[in-house]
A and B are shown apart, each in its own frame.
Chain A
Amino acid sequence: GAGVSQSPRYKVAKRGQDVALRCDPISGHVSLFWYQQALGQGPEFLTYFQNEAQLDKSGLPSDRFFAERPEGSVSTLKIQRTQQEDSAVYLCASSVTGGLIFYEQYFGPGTRLTVT
C-alpha cells in the first residue's frame, strides 16, 4: 500500500532562499510529525499536527520555520531565508491515532536539503 511520500527528495538552495517541503501522509492518518535529522544525528522533533491543528511547534528551531496542514492531510514545511545550518534531512511521519494512545509512526523517505 501507499506509504508516506515526500517531495522533493533532494533540494539544493542558495543561502537566503526560501524552500517548501511537502509531505503526503498515509491516507486517514490523523497525526503528522516533522523531524530534522542532521548528519550523524538521530531525528529531532520539530512539530506535530492532529488533523489540521498544529498542537506542538516547540521543536521548530527559529521563526524562519513554518509548517501547515490546512486540510488535515498534506503538510508543507517552509523554511525562509535558508542558512547553512538548515542543511539536513527533513523527515515526515504519520500515525493512525492521536489523543491518548499513540501507535508507531510511519516515516517517509525524507527530503535532503543542502544550503550552499
Chain B
Amino acid sequence: DQQVKQNSPSLSVQEGRISILNCDYTNSMFDYFLWYKKYPAEGPTFLISISSIKDKNEDGRFTVFLNKSAKHLSLHIVPSQPGDSAVYFCAARQNSGGSNYKLTFGKGTLLTVNP
C-alpha cells in the first residue's frame, strides 16, 4: 500500500512558467515532508522540506505548500528553468516515535522544462 503518492508520472512546462508537482499521503502520523530531485545516473539530492507545524516553506524559486487536512503537499517552481528538468520525489517521515530516520518515498514525477 503506497503511503506517499505522486499521481502524475510526468509534467511538461515552458521555461519561465510555474511548475506545480503534487503529492498525497495516507499516513496521518507523517509530520515531516521532503522533496528530492534526481538527475539520470545520480542519486537523489535534497531540495526543500516542511514540518507539519507549517503550511508553507520557501527557498528561492522553490516553495512547498502543505495542507494537512487534505493530506496533500505541492512543490511550486517559479520560474521554471531547463535545468530543473529531473525526476522529483516526495518523501515523508514520522519525526516522533522510534522510526524518525525512515523516509517513505513516492514514485516520482518526471518534470521536463522546455526552452
- By a CB distance below 8 angstroms, the chain B residues around A91 are 43-44
Interface string of A72-116 (1 = CB under 8 A from B): 000000000000000000010101001010101111111000000
Which residues of A39-73 are within 8 A (CB) of B?
Answer: 40-45, 48, 56
Main secondary structure of the interface of B (DSSP, over half): loop
A49 to B45, alpha carbons, bound, how many Å?
20
B89 at the interface (CB under 8 A from A): yes
B14-22, B57-65, B104-112: which lies at the A interface? Answer: B104-112
- By a CB distance below 8 angstroms, the chain B residues around A45 are 102-104
| B89 lies within 8 A of A56 (CB) | no
| B43 lies within 8 A of A42 (CB) | no
A104-B34, A104-B49 as given contacts; A43 in contact with B44, CB under 8 Å: yes
A104 to B36, alpha carbons, bound, how many Å?
10
Interface of B toward A, CB cutoff 8 Å: 4, 6, 34, 36, 41-46, 49, 89, 91, 93, 95, 99-108
Q: List 21 A-B contacts (CB under 8 A).
A: A4-B43, A40-B107, A41-B107, A42-B6, A42-B91, A42-B105, A43-B103, A45-B103, A48-B101, A56-B101, A91-B44, A102-B93, A102-B95, A102-B100, A104-B46, A104-B49, A105-B46, A106-B43, A107-B43, A107-B44, A109-B43
